[in-house]
Structure 1
Amino acid sequence: MDYRLIIFALTGALVSVAFCQTRQYYFVSTSKTWTDAQSHCRNVFTDLATIENTADLYAVTSTASNTGKAWIGLHDDLQNSWRWSLNDSSFYGVGEAAFRNWYTNSPNNLNGQEQYCVALLSGSSYNGAWDDRSCGDKYFFVCYNGEFTWSKN
């Protein structure tokens, strides 16, 4: 039998599986400010949700569907602009820390308010889009536990 065919088949299977991994996200139905939500996530899980790609976005929106607004880990640190709460650069692959899914005309500091934190907007009309919000507002939130799960194709 031609071993090149077997290696090609196995390589294709491995590539296919690699694109099916998603992180484990947990929706917390307690309203907290962004900072308090971050503290909770860091104490119980790993951090507020980091969303690096559309697969992560789908996993988060599945966890927090039709919940209104929920904090995620994106915030404006006023020095380097929008960045994820999980500040470990070794965690991110090329381009992952730059993934954004802003709602139309966001971020916008609506009506001149300082809106330095980001909430996920749920419901079918929003499709998991993000909006900048005042960090002192209280919303539910989504945490991430730092582990991967593997979904089936």
Structure 2
Amino acid sequence: MYFFFSGALLSVSSAQTRQFYFVNTPLNWRDAQSVCRQNYTDLATIENTADVDAAIVALSNYTGKAWIGLHDDIVNSWRWSLSDSSFYGDGESTYWNWYPGEPNNYDGQQLCVHFYGAVNDLWDNYCSVEYSFVCYTGELPFRFY
């Protein structure tokens, strides 16, 4: 399987139950979500510290901001992009490691979430801002036995 993104750098990391893919093509949150859904499972869902570590590895040496799948849908407040509740274990759909003072929903319009490549804290931001992003698959990574 091949993925082509104009000017993109693609990096892969895996956690216990999923693989994370960093796409170094700046897009707004909705367009990033669309790319992830077309080529992977969705924008990254960070359910625990192991996922944080795996997502950071996927970011490699990238130190900028990257979109992940957390967003505020206004109706149900903060939730992950992947809406299939059967995918999540106990408490996993509400694992959020906010930076102190976040989310602040500045101007009532910061409804999407990013994190820095070397930092595991989450920040809310305007969905229209263009950042690189992290996708994932819900598939088990290939293992040699």
Identity score, percent: 56
- Partner Cα distance (1:26, 1:41) in 2: 9
Does the aligned pair in 2 maintain the 1:34–1:136 contact within 8 Å?
yes
Deviations 1:54-110 (CA, angstroms, capped at 9, x unpaired):
100100011114331000000000001000000001001110001011111100023
Q: In structure 2, give the amino acid aligned to 1:50.
A: T
Do the aligned partners of 2:45 and 2:69 also contact (CA within 8 Å) in 1? yes
Structure 1 runs of 4+ with >4 Å offset:
none
Count of equivalent residues: 128
Unmatched tracts of structure 1, length 5 or more: 1-19
Find the partner of 1:60 among 33, 55, 61: 55
Does 2:41 correspond to 1:46?
yes
Q: Distance in 2 between matches of 1:94 and 1:38?
A: 24
Measure, in 2, the Cα distance between the counterparts of 1:149 and 1:44: 16
Judge conservation of contact 2:17–2:138 (CA < 8 Å) in 1: no
Gaps of 5+ in 2: 1-14
CA RMSD of aligned residues (A): 1.6
1:139 is aligned, of 107, 123, 131, to: 131
From the CA coordinates, give the structure whose radius of gyration is larger: 1
For normalisation by structure 1, the TM-score amounts to 0.78
Report which of the two has the higher share of helix: 1
